[in-house]
A and B are shown apart, each in its own frame.
Chain A
Amino acid sequence: MASSLISSKSKIRLLAVSLLFALCALSLPSSSYSQVDTFEFDTDEQQQRFRSLSDELRCPMCQNSSLSGSTGGVAEDLRREIHRMIMEGMSDAEITQFMFERYGDFILFRPRLTAGTILLWFGPLLFLLIGAVVAFGIWRRARKISDDDAELDKSQQERLQKLLGDKS
C-alpha cells in the first residue's frame, strides 16, 4: 500500500516536471513568431540569409525581440532594408556593419568582442576557472588530511585497540 502510494506520488511529480519542460520549450523564442512579409527572393539561400539576419538583429524599439519577431515600425523598415541589401548583393558582414553604424552594439544580439564586452564573453570561463582552483584546493587539502590521519602513532594505536577491545 505504502509503496504504491509513493510510486503514484512520484508519477505525479514526473508528470509535473515533464509538463514544466514542455512549457519551457513552448516559450522558447523561435522564428515561428516571424512577421509575415511579402519579400521575394531569387534563391533559397537569399531567403535563408534574410531569416538568419533578421533573427540575429535586435529591434531597436522593442528592447527584447529580434527584427523578425517585432511588429514595430522601425523593425519593419529594417527588414525591408535587409531585403534590399541582400538583393543588391551585399554580404552578411556588410549588412551587419550597416546596422551597427546606425544603431550601435544594441542591435547585435551577438555582441562584438571589445574591451567593454570582454567580461561578457569570457566571464563564464573566468568563473569556471575560479571554481576549478577552489575545487582543486579543497580536494588537495582533503587528501592531505586523510593521509595524515591514516598514520596513527603508537599511543593512538594502543588507544584504538583498547576502545575496540572494550566494545567487543
Chain B
Amino acid sequence: MATLGDLERTVMDLLWATPEAMTANALRDAIAEAPLGEVGRELAVTTVLTVLSRLEKKGLVERERDSRPHRYTSVTSREDHTAELMHEVLVTAPDREAVLARFVGSVSEAEAKTLRKLLGGS
C-alpha cells in the first residue's frame, strides 16, 4: 500500500522529468505505465487530483489557470529544491540549531586549511 508521501514523490518525479505541463489524466496514465512504479497500481484520477492539491498547498506544483482540464507543472526544478533544503542544513541560523545535528559543522577558511594540512601530513 503506497503512502501519500510515495504518491507525492511519484507525481513530482514525473513532473520534474517532463518539461511541459500535465493533466491529472496524463499523470495517472504515466503512473500506470511507469516501469516497476513505486506506486505499482492503477490510481483513480481523483486520487491524483488529491495528491496534486496537496503538492500545490506545499508550493511544489502550480496549476495553469486558463486550461480545462487543469494542467500542472512543478514550480522549480528538483535541483533547486535540493539546493534549498541543503542550504537549510548548511547555514546555521540561530533558530535552526535545534533541528539538525550535523556531522561536522560550518568550518572557517582558516580551519579548513588546518584540516587539509592534517590530511596531507598524516
A and B: bona fide binding partners = no
Binding site for A on B (CB under 8 A): none
Binding site for B on A (CB under 8 A): none
